[in-house]
Amino acid sequence: MPHTDLRQVLDEAYEQYARPSFAEHDPIQVPRSFPQRVDAEVIGFLTATIAWGQRKTIITNAWKLVHLMDDAPHDFVMNASAGELRRMEGFVHRTFNSVDMVHFVKGLRHVYRTYGGLEEAFLENGTLGSMDEGIHRFKQRFFEPLHQPRTQKHVADPAKGSNAKRINMYLRWMVRPNDRGVDLGLWQRIRPAQLMVPLDVHTGRVGRELGLLRRTQDDWKAVEELTAALRTFDAEDPVKYDIALFGIGVDG
């Protein structure tokens, strides 16, 4: 398909799917429900962390976490006592369980107290560098508090070849502008141009069908290839097309 025609397909799909109705059936509805930035970024991170499997189950379990945290995610992260953390006992989403959740609370508390916030934990001297460097930096800082080794698998690392789909999705939520009723646009120090596409089964399949992605493995190199292709259509906001690819894939 010629480049101009392909861009028209993607732009039309973006116009079709990037609207408030998208959030009605997507996990992003959970952080979008919180008007305060710190609440939205905390529950957004936790929601993105468990975002694999059926969307309905993801949403149900994300709201369960909200209620376990007294509907005040940031306050709970910063102030929960050991007794209050025991509320998490019994929570499970696939392989993410209460042991992992307790560390995630402590890890989030650590990055707020030590680095000044979630966005800042991706940065070094106020600068991101490349996205794979930023994600690797965040993971190292998040796991500085004592934790069980099993929990590390729940934060992906591009340095190990992972496509880091869930954390890239979280970054899209936080960074892309809130101009279509989908993403939140809460962070300003990381730019939309720096984002990498959250590569999942839908975006990968559609990307290959449209000739945007040739690599057969869904790894970080595939993320780089697909994002580079999307930048030829919009260098300043390439990952807006994630919504288009995902919508096309879900609708078949």
Q: What residues does each domain of the chain span? A: 3-251
pTM of the entire predicted model: 0.97
Taking the C-alpha atoms of residue 247 and residue 245, their distance in angstroms, rounded to an integer, is 6
Packed helices 131-142 and 98-115: angle between N→C axes, nearest 10 degrees: 110
Query: Is 1's pLDDT higher than 80?
Result: no
Mutual angle of helices 201-209 and 240-251, in 10-degree steps:
90
Give the chain's count of helices (H) and strands (E). 12, 2
pLDDT bin (cut points 50, 70, 90) of residue 169 is very high
How do residues 86-115 score in pLDDT, each as one tens digit?
999 999 999 999 999 999 999 999 999 999
| pLDDT band (50, 70, 90) for residue 117 | very high
* pLDDT at residue 2, as a whole number: 86
E-assigned strand segments in the chain: 92-93, 96-97
pLDDT recorded at residue 154 = 97
> What pLDDT band is residue 251 in, cutting at 50, 70 and 90?
confident
Q: What is the mean pLDDT of residues 127-132?
A: 97
| Residue 57, C-beta contacts closer than 8 angstroms, at least 6 positions apart | 93
Q: What pLDDT is recorded for position 235?
A: 98
